[in-house]
């Protein structure tokens, strides 16, 4: 969650931005409820980070992307802890539909991560060095939204917002003007820096959501039938 009382948030963000995020958290919670209803699966924990992550390619000079959200797997005492990290600009400036689409997209990443961890399919990923390759690899591994969500409106929202990366010009402009240009907290990373290494031992002792594990078996059957066509 976004804790307004932590020193990091109080000191790093203007009061009007904090107030706006606090007011618009309802869009995040509504989106999570919609996704859980559409899938029958519990959404992973989330937090709102008071920073924007900029992804800059060393190969394609001058190209810069924005990472508005990402799924973070971390090692904990009882195994893996998987959470969704949302950037403060997404919540502050994103349209309600954009926030819901991003939440759904990150949920798809969560499902894919659990698939990889439960099957130990974690050694085949290759690092990438350009923004184009990052976007391509982001999509080729995920399940089709229509397989996962029983909500036609949510599927349309995903397909409209994610064509070749996140499509929301207003969000991008506001993030640049009201966040980046004002010198609010940001981190610039090369695309291949968004990599987390998890010990096998932590994966093996993790109790993943049994409902999700059962659903993954169904999704793999659907994928196999679709690939056979």
pLDDT at 140 over 80: no
Q: What is the pLDDT of residues 158-199, one digit of tens each?
A: 999 987 678 789 999 999 999 999 999 998 877 666 566 778
SS3 for the chain, per residue?
CCCCCCHHHHHHCCHHHHHHHHHHHHHHHHHHHHHHHHHCCCCCCEEEECCEEEEECCCCCCCEEEECEEEEEEEECCEEEEEEEEEHHHHHHCCHHHHHHHHHHHHHHHHHHHHHHHHCCCCCCCCCCCHHHHHHHHHHCCCCHHHHCCCHHHHHHHHHHECCCECCHHHHHHHHHHHHCCCCCEEEECHHHCCCCCCHHHHHCCCCCHHHHHHHHHHHHHHHHHHHC
Q: What is the pLDDT of residues 195-222, one digit of tens each?
A: 667 788 888 899 999 999 999 999 999 9
pLDDT at 155 over 50: yes
pTM as predicted: 0.86
pLDDT at 60 over 80: no
pLDDT at 69 over 90: yes
pLDDT at 108 over 90: yes
Closest by Cα among 94, 77, 67 to 174: 94
Q: What pLDDT score does 195 carry?
A: 62
pLDDT band at 64 (very low <50, low <70, confident <90, very high): low
pLDDT at 149 over 70: yes
């Amino acid at each position: 969650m976004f804790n307004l009382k932590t020193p990091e948030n109080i000191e790093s963000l203007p009061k009007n931005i904090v107030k706006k995020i606090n007011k618009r958290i309802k869009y995040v919670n509504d989106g999570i409820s919609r996704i859980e209803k559409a899938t029958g699966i519990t959404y992973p924990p989330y937090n709102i980070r008071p920073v924007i992550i900029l992804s800059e390619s060393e190969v394609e000079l001058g190209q810069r992307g924005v990472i508005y959200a990402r799924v973070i797997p971390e090692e904990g005492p009882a195994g893996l802890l998987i959470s969704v990290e949302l950037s403060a600009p997404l919540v502050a400036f994103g349209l309600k539909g954009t926030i819901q689409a991003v939440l759904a997209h990150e949920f798809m990443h969560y499902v894919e991560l659990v698939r990889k961890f439960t099957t130990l399919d974690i050694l085949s990923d290759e690092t990438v060095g350009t923004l184009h390759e990052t976007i391509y690899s982001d999509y080729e591994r995920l399940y089709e939204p229509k397989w996962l969500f029983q909500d036609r409106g949510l599927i349309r929202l995903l397909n409209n917002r994610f064509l070749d990366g996140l499509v929301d010009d207003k969000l991008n402009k506001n993030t640049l003007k009201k966040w980046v240009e004002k010198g609010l907290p940001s981190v610039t990373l090369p695309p291949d820096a968004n990599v987390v290494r998890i010990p096998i031992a932590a994966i093996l002792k993790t109790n993943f959501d049994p409902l999700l594990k059962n659903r993954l078996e169904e999704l793999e059957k659907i994928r196999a039938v679709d690939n056979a066509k």
